[in-house]
Amino acid sequence: MHTAPRTGAPSGAEPRTTAPATTAPRTPAPRTPVPRTTSPRTAAPPPLVDRFGRVHTDLRLSLTDRCNLRCAYCMPAEGLEWLGRAEVLDDDEVLRLVRIAVHRLGVRSVRLTGGEPLLRRGLAALVGRIAALGPELSLTTNGIGLARTAAGLRAAGLDRVNVSLDTLRPERFAALTRRDRIGDVLAGLAAAKAAGLGPVKVNAVPVRGVNDDEIVELTEFAVAHGYRMRFIESMPLDAQGAWDRAAMVTAREVLARLARRYELVPVGRPGSAPAEEWRIAGTDAVVGVIASVTRPFCGGCDRVRLTADGQLRNCLFATGESDLRALLRGGADDAAVEAAWRASVAGKGPGHAIGSEGFVRPDRPMSAIGG
């Protein structure tokens, strides 16, 4: 198959701090659900709210589980058993679910992801149809193919991209991703900026002994090109189950390395975004850290996820899913799909428990959920 998610603002979320030093998950306290009302068609739909009062306005939409890279922290060298064509939602099904999300559930932002979303056939047309529904629309990509598609995606209505790039060294890139494609990624980044898909964010997952010596280099590269650098703590979501906490480079370590080179001014966490941000003093450059493991931001989560095969997940780490594809293909009307969606979110837990004894890895790896 040929080839494509982002964030909003919750009400009822905990107040944010700029640099929490705790490792305890910030989990919300249960709340009385906001009563639902029947809205006229023109009014805002009732919020998609859970029992902790978190309002869900952001949809991470996976368009394929396939990928043209094999990042070592994500999947094995031989790849995975991909979904069959008939299992993946077609464009009309995707559109219908996004329309229900935007019109009936109050979703305001959609981030396209995968797998590698640029591998989805007919992506620009699908982007155009989703954009016409009105959400803020962004895409997370490994950048391969972006040089050729960025302008068309922008013209179709895509607002922004995040591009993953874990190293600037060609041999290291080839070893880490098992493909010699760094040139395509760098060209994709430049094309995204030229096309106006900004602010272009660069995502890197630092892994100890692999690329953690490039934290400053990557940041300098991003600053020089006007991209926003973001470091993501590695999570136990690799398909091969090889995640090792000791190899994870923590947000604290990332910041310590950056602080040796830059003076960092805390910006905080914009809206319910997962990244905490710092501005490099004396510049407009911003660097972010997504500390999913050591500084969980579950208390402010406003995200729901839809896999490429139409399974709704109320959390990246959820161990259960709601089968929206079965509803669509079984002839359910929009109200029934909306009800299933609301029931899934109502059942969302307070937060993930990585690091605790009770933590259970989800059955699907990151690439099949949509990061």
Q: By the criterion CB under 6 A, which residues form the site for ligand SAM?
A: 67, 73-74, 113-114, 116, 140-142, 164, 203, 205, 232, 234-235, 237-238, 366-367, 371
DSSP state of 211: T
Binding-site partner at residue 64 among ligand SAM, ligand SF4, none, CB < 5 to 8 Å by type: none
Cis peptide before 274 (omega within 30 of 0): no
The candidate with the shortest Cα–Cα distance to 223, out of 287, 170, 276, 273, is 287
The CB-of-368 to ligand SAM minimum distance in angstroms stands at 9
Task: Tell me: does residue 211 bind ligand SF4 (CB under 6 A).
Answer: no
Q: Are 102 and 51 in contact (CB under 8 A)?
A: no
Dist CA 257 CA 289 (whole Å): 12
107-136 residues in contact with ligand SF4 (CB under 6 A) are 114-116
The candidate with the shortest Cα–Cα distance to 53, out of 30, 25, 27, 26, is 30
Of the pair 119, 251, the CB lying nearest ligand SF4 is at 119
Q: Are 308 and 114 in contact (CB under 8 A)?
A: yes
Structure tokens of 236? Answer: 């136990």
The CB-of-244 to ligand SF4 minimum distance in angstroms stands at 17
Binding-site partner at residue 234 among ligand SAM, ligand SF4, none, CB < 5 to 8 Å by type: ligand SAM
How many residues bind ligand SF4 (CB under 6 A)? The answer is 12
DSSP state of 245: G
Task: Tell me: does residue 153 bind ligand SF4 (CB under 6 A).
Answer: no
Among the listed ranges 23-31, 68-76, 99-107, 324-332, the one in contact with ligand SF4 (CB under 6 A) is 68-76
Of the pair 12, 188, the CB lying nearest ligand SAM is at 188
Dist CA 346 CA 312 (whole Å): 13
Task: Tell me: does residue 361 bind ligand SF4 (CB under 6 A).
Answer: no
Binding-site partner at residue 203 among ligand SF4, ligand SAM, none, CB < 5 to 8 Å by type: ligand SAM
CA dist list (Å): 309 to 44, 66, 95, 346: 28, 12, 13, 22
Of the pair 240, 283, the CB lying nearest ligand SF4 is at 240
Q: Are 141 and 192 in contact (CB under 8 A)?
A: no
**Interacting residue ranges for ligand SF4, rule: CB under 6 A:** 67, 69-71, 74-75, 114-116, 142, 164, 367
